[in-house]
Structure 1
Amino acid sequence: MADEMALETRIAARAKVSVDDVQTVFESQGIPLGVPPARPRPLRIHRLRVAGERTGALEPGEFDTTFRFGEGLTALVASNLRGKSSVLELVTWCLRGTPREKSGAIHWLREVDLDATVAGQAMAFRLNLESEEITSAIALSGPDQQTLQTRRSPDPTHGVLPLFRAASSESYAQQVQALMMQWLDLHPLVSAKEGAAAVSHGWPAYYGALYMPGARSPSLLGDVAMSGLPGRLLQVFLDLPAAAVLTKVKTHAALMSTARQRRQTTAKAAQAERSEQRRQTEDDLAAALARLEQLTQGAGGSDQESLADLAAATVQFATVVADSQQAWDELMRMHREARAQRQRDEKLLNDVRESAIARRLFHGLEPTTCPRCDQSFAAERRQLELQEHSCAVCARSVQGDNEAPEDVLAEAEDRVKASSQAERLSREALGQAERELDRLSRDLRTAQDRLRRADAAARVPEYAQVREEVLRLEGALSVLPELPPSSDDPAEELAIKVLRAGAKTLEDDHAKEADRLFADLNTEISDLGRKFGFAGLESVRIDRAAHLRVMSDGGHERSFSDQVPGERLRLRIAVIVALLRVGAAHQVSTHPGLLLIDSPKAEEIQDVDIHLLLEELNAVAEANQLQVLVTTADFDLAHDVLPSDSIIEAAEGKPLW
């Protein structure tokens, strides 16, 4: 609590507000005032079981295969296209919520079980599959791995309890991602680009730092290079003070500031436009009054009084007619909408009579634009919905309906009846308004005729015209008041001031802690890079944005993205191991310590280099509490580097599972 109060006090002093103001702003934005040091977040996998029925020419039939993983480096060895990468994807599906990409072999699977330890808690993930989709799944917690490994359902008598259940792939993904964020003490990474809506990145973004991306990816850490995510991952894994909180504070401040600026710009433009409208109207009114004064002075006294009365009456009639015309216009609009609705309902009735797909989609939503980007759906997609049975929104195939078509037809017919009734009522109201408008128009014409006959003088028509213009301009001025200056919302002003001060204060805390950690991190990355076979590496310099500058070959400096694929792989692994080492030395919670690497030899690494990389990675993994799964099709390589109990292999040409 003392640390939180110290942060509040520093932010209040910087913003020149009270501590209560700081607390109120942070609470209103849903942002915690500082976060205690993260809990340790180790993640280990122990057992993967896959069961199903293989089809095709290669060893068809039932299978039930179990893989066990120990600490350190484990190699998955098999010929190409024999299930090595699938193991990594199945582990990813269980832990991440979705596989990074589905292999063709997944359709063979009926059951997938994964046993893991998440931040010290024994957990089991049990997936039941059909046609490459989850039909049911459950996550279990238990007292230990031995108790969990034989169970696929809760067993309260032995302490095996459910953490969540899911009935679909989407539900499983959502729930496992929330579970991992909670147990690994992680917070969403929020970002906003150029004042756009905030985007929140969760567990899948963090998981990108566990499953190495392809060597040609430009991202040093994780598999998403945009929105500054590599830098945010680095800050979280180094446990820099409230890294996720800083991101939220900066994002909220940017969004609020942009919204205020846009509002102010819009208000200023509206003020300028209104002022110009009033100036022009006032000039026109002054000219009309001057002309009216001239006409009044030139007319006879008693005649002029009668003329003025008739002119006023005519203007009054004109106002009533204008109001009636406006009412008729509104009723005409409503009638058109009712007629269009009736036409749509009749078309829908015809569709559900002729198409099972239309009946299936009858109760669905009818969006006209994409709910994400607001772009309108092309007419072709609506046509394809009926012709090729593909949803106009997601383009997936839609099967026929299961409910009785009579119910759908009856409801569609009821809609037609209701919209037809609404159209009839609107037509009747429109007719009545039209008759009233005709009556008032006749009255106006009568008044105008009387006005024209009131005085034979040539000035009468002009007088009436000018008088009408004066009244019109006076009315226009009355509905064009000066717009008040754009006033700032005091609460918004306070929030922006406090959030900006909070961002600067947290940035200062980050910079202080970064100075302490990054020198050690640079040294560790350089040492590890050389051990992993980057022979010409002299030194590296990494910053809080995860930008890595590499000095090699006699002081030549290049960025990480300028390195060849093999060197990128070495540097990525070096960064993960360095995070673990620096974290251990400074007693901060860092990377979960699980690393998945698919076919490192394919990343333009020579045979001698890959031997050196795996030998050093094996030694580093054992020394730094790092669990690594690596795949390879090189049987000799695995046996040259690792003991047999660290190798999971299939006979050459045979499937791994």
Structure 2
Amino acid sequence: MMSTQATAAEWIEAIAGKASLPAPVVQEVLDRHAVEPQSTLPRRKSLRIRSVTLEGVKEGTVADGPFGRTFTFGPGLWAIVSDQNFRGKSTLLGVIQGGIRGDIHERVKPDVWRWLSKAEVVFEANSIGHRLLVTKEAGDPDKGAAGSFSREQEGGWFTLYEGTVGKPLERAVEDAMLAEFGFARFHAHNEKDGSHTHGWPVIASALFVDGPGKAVFGELLVDAIPLRLLQMFMGLPWVSTYTAAATALKRLRATKAERPTASRGLGDRLRTRLEAVDASLSSARGRVRPGPDRAVLRATMLEQDRRLLALREGIEETRQEAVRVDRQLQGATTLLLETRRALQQLRDERAAGVVLRTLRPVCCPSCDAGIDHNRHSRADEGSTCALCGTRQAPDEDEDALRLEELQRDVDDVEANVAELSAQATEAQASQRGAEAELSKAIEASRVTEAALRAEGSADLEMEIRGLEAQREQLLSLIAAEEEVEEKEEAAATGAHDEAVLQAAEEVTKDLYDGLAREILADVSREITTLSRSFGVQNIESMDWGTGGAMRIVQGKAPTSFGRLSPGENLRVRIAAALAVIEVARQRMYGRHPGLLVLDSPGAQEMAPADFAALLSRVHEAIQSAGDIQIIVGARADPTLLDVVPCDHVTHAHGERFLF
């Protein structure tokens, strides 16, 4: 068997030997599951309350009005007492608890929380000051509450968090306290809740005892928390490693147990559904009547649609071409008419001039004066007008040229008109042909569409296509499920993971089991002694086993912690908390911070003499240790005041309030 002080390398070799695997494989598995060796014995650390300050305005009491008070504390036994109940003892202790947990707003009754404008808790963690401060408007239940958490540094306060109260503030306090005390969040796994993590709130709960409870140590029974807290505070080496290995092994086995039910069951259901779909698909295909192949018809329909589109585009092109040619033809026809008109006009003008010149009038058309015939002869010889005497130039040659040009223009335009007329006729014929071809294509498409809409065929085809789609989807889901199953099984249940984790659990437990039994035996004896001195009747023995259960023999009859009366339950819880502190002090190691807060321990059927014995024993335990602080809240009693030093007592006399 290996000793408690085994090194990390020796631990790995021991696991490799037990699992019959190479050390590198073991290391890889442990790293993957975050199982790390923690073998050193911890040094003692301390937590101590310095002061609590409360300010605000009271309402609805016999002493309404502003208040403000600071309560100071130091090492040793301290008492907060009052002559009457409901004078603020539990509120003050709740503020202390909320101060080191970061949740003051949850530890104070709603009416008192409404009064407060300031709540400040200053405490020392390993001699380093920390301060939690909550401020708000007095009379305001929640809105505007702000919190800050600071660490003492060079005579001032270094802010670690500043913001609203709630989870962020609690998380800041938790992170700081875990770091200061060297605690680690511990993981757990159970069938009901699965995997989860416990941190500073659970650890800090063991520092407060405010009445009977289900757990000997702390507040929770789940995940063997009382035993884990005891092991943590006693400073057992390898306990965190053992817890991590055990949790990883449980989680691994739970995954292996759950996977066939959840995943493979799904695969089976998918395959069953696939069989049903295949059967329906075969039946539907069997109902198909002989006839045209609908796939071919659909392909034909698509091809006809493409052809219709092309034909419509072709018709549009021929129509535009016919319009273009017609416009050109109209323009050419108009030009031809105008050119012919100009030619005819020139001819008429030329003919009129010839007629006039050939006429020989015998008198003036205006005055009927006679004209000498010789005058006409002389005019012809001199190229002058016989009537007016104007000299005339011959223009027969110029008119002839103009007539020739106009005739050529007419001939050219006539040729163009003839050509355009032929083109227009051809375009119109092409358009009519394209329209006829389109009509035939539309008719053919209608025939194909009618065949596709044949009664019963379309519904049956849709049913077949739907079943085919379902079949493809099911095949894809089955393939994906099989792939995921293979990957997850390979990742979560590696070939050697379970063997390595089981070997790690066994090897690690062997490392600390002997020392754990010794420490638990010391704690059990101390609990028995303290319980007797606190007035638990007929206690013969109390044995806190390594499994977490406390076996009690009372009046020669075996019993358990859960069967004790409320008064006995409270006494044993206090005894357990003190026993852990005392045994850790005697062994000179451990991580219990040495703070214990007791709220009204004398209220649970505890006689004054027994209460005095309890406090006397507490006082004896802490006198030999200067870093232990115990704060008790109770009704004022002479037996209590005789035990607690007078300067360690905060007393609300008579009807007065603590604040």
- 8 Å CA contact 2:98–2:107 kept in 1: the answer is no
Q: What fraction of aligned residue pairs are identical, expressed as a percent?
A: 24
Aligned to 2:493: 493
Amino acid corresponding to residue 233 of structure 2 in structure 1: F
Aligned to 1:223: 219
How many angstroms does 1:70 deviate by?
3.1
Amino acid corresponding to residue 122 of structure 2 in structure 1: D
CA distance in 2 between partners of 1:46 and 1:472 (Å) = 77
How many angstroms does 1:550 deviate by?
1.5
Give the SS at the match of 1:198.
strand
From 284, 291, 313, give the equivalent of 2:296: 313
- 8 Å CA contact 2:148–2:159 kept in 1: the answer is no
CA distance in 2 between partners of 1:270 and 1:590 (Å) = 49
Per-residue displacement from partner, 1:586-629 (whole Å, max 9, x unpaired)? 34313211111111111111222222222222222323553211
Amino acid corresponding to residue 490 of structure 1 in structure 2: A
CA distance in 2 between partners of 1:311 and 1:67 (Å) = 94
- 8 Å CA contact 1:115–1:125 kept in 2: the answer is yes
- 8 Å CA contact 1:26–1:33 kept in 2: the answer is no
Aligned to 1:70: 74
Give the SS at the match of 1:218.
coil
Aligned to 2:124: 117
From 103, 107, 118, give the equivalent of 1:101: 107
Aligned length: 497
How many angstroms does 1:636 deviate by?
2.4
Of the structure 1 ranges 607-616 and 635-644, higher mean CA displacement relative to structure 2 is found in 635-644
CA distance in 2 between partners of 1:172 and 1:58 (Å) = 34
CA distance in 1 between partners of 2:63 and 2:644 (Å) = 29
Amino acid corresponding to residue 619 of structure 1 in structure 2: E
Amino acid corresponding to residue 206 of structure 1 in structure 2: I
Aligned to 1:639: 641
Give the SS at the match of 2:124.
strand
CA distance in 2 between partners of 1:239 and 1:530 (Å) = 26
CA distance in 1 between partners of 2:220 and 2:157 (Å) = 35
- 8 Å CA contact 2:238–2:511 kept in 1: the answer is no
Per-residue displacement from partner, 1:344-395 (whole Å, max 9, x unpaired)? xxxxxxxxxxxxxxxxxxxxxxxxxxxxxxxxxxxxxxxxxxxxxxxxxxxx
How many angstroms does 1:487 deviate by?
3.2
**Residues 49 and 443 (structure 1 numbering): CA distance in 2 closer, same or farther, change over 3 Å?**
farther
Per-residue displacement from partner, 1:448-467 (whole Å, max 9, x unpaired)? 577x9xxxxxxxx99x9999
Of the structure 1 ranges 278-287 and 17-26, higher mean CA displacement relative to structure 2 is found in 278-287
**Residues 271 and 165 (structure 1 numbering): CA distance in 2 closer, same or farther, change over 3 Å?**
closer
Amino acid corresponding to residue 164 of structure 1 in structure 2: L
- 8 Å CA contact 1:53–1:108 kept in 2: the answer is yes
- 8 Å CA contact 1:96–1:173 kept in 2: the answer is yes
How many angstroms does 1:476 deviate by?
7.4
Note if 1:511 corresponds to 2:518.
Answer: no
Amino acid corresponding to residue 108 of structure 2 in structure 1: K
Note if 1:186 corresponds to 2:183.
Answer: yes
How many angstroms does 1:110 deviate by?
2.7
CA distance in 2 between partners of 1:25 and 1:443 (Å) = 72
Aligned to 2:150: 139
Aligned to 1:41: 45
Aligned to 2:208: 211
Note if 1:90 corresponds to 2:90.
Answer: no
Give the SS at the match of 1:567.
helix
Q: When the two structures are superposed, what TM-score results if normalisation uses the length of structure 1?
A: 0.66
**Residues 623 and 537 (structure 1 numbering): CA distance in 2 closer, same or farther, change over 3 Å?**
farther
- 8 Å CA contact 1:71–1:622 kept in 2: the answer is no
- 8 Å CA contact 1:54–1:61 kept in 2: the answer is yes
Note if 1:611 corresponds to 2:638.
Answer: no
Q: When the two structures are superposed, what TM-score results if normalisation uses the length of structure 2?
A: 0.66
Give the SS at the match of 1:115.
strand
Aligned to 2:558: 557
CA distance in 2 between partners of 1:472 and 1:63 (Å) = 78
Aligned to 2:596: 595
Note if 1:172 corresponds to 2:169.
Answer: yes
- 8 Å CA contact 1:313–1:447 kept in 2: the answer is no
The unaligned stretches of length 5 or more in structure 1 are 143-157, 296-306, 321-440, 453-460
**Residues 610 and 260 (structure 1 numbering): CA distance in 2 closer, same or farther, change over 3 Å?**
same
**Residues 76 and 260 (structure 1 numbering): CA distance in 2 closer, same or farther, change over 3 Å?**
same
How many angstroms does 1:97 deviate by?
0.9
Give the SS at the match of 1:22.
helix
CA distance in 1 between partners of 2:459 and 2:617 (Å) = 97
CA distance in 2 between partners of 1:442 and 1:532 (Å) = 104
Give the SS at the match of 2:151.
strand
- 8 Å CA contact 1:239–1:588 kept in 2: the answer is yes
- 8 Å CA contact 2:301–2:449 kept in 1: the answer is no
* Paired residues for 1:413-452 under 5 Å: 446-448=450-452
CA distance in 2 between partners of 1:478 and 1:587 (Å) = 71
The unaligned stretches of length 5 or more in structure 2 are 304-444
CA distance in 2 between partners of 1:291 and 1:138 (Å) = 79
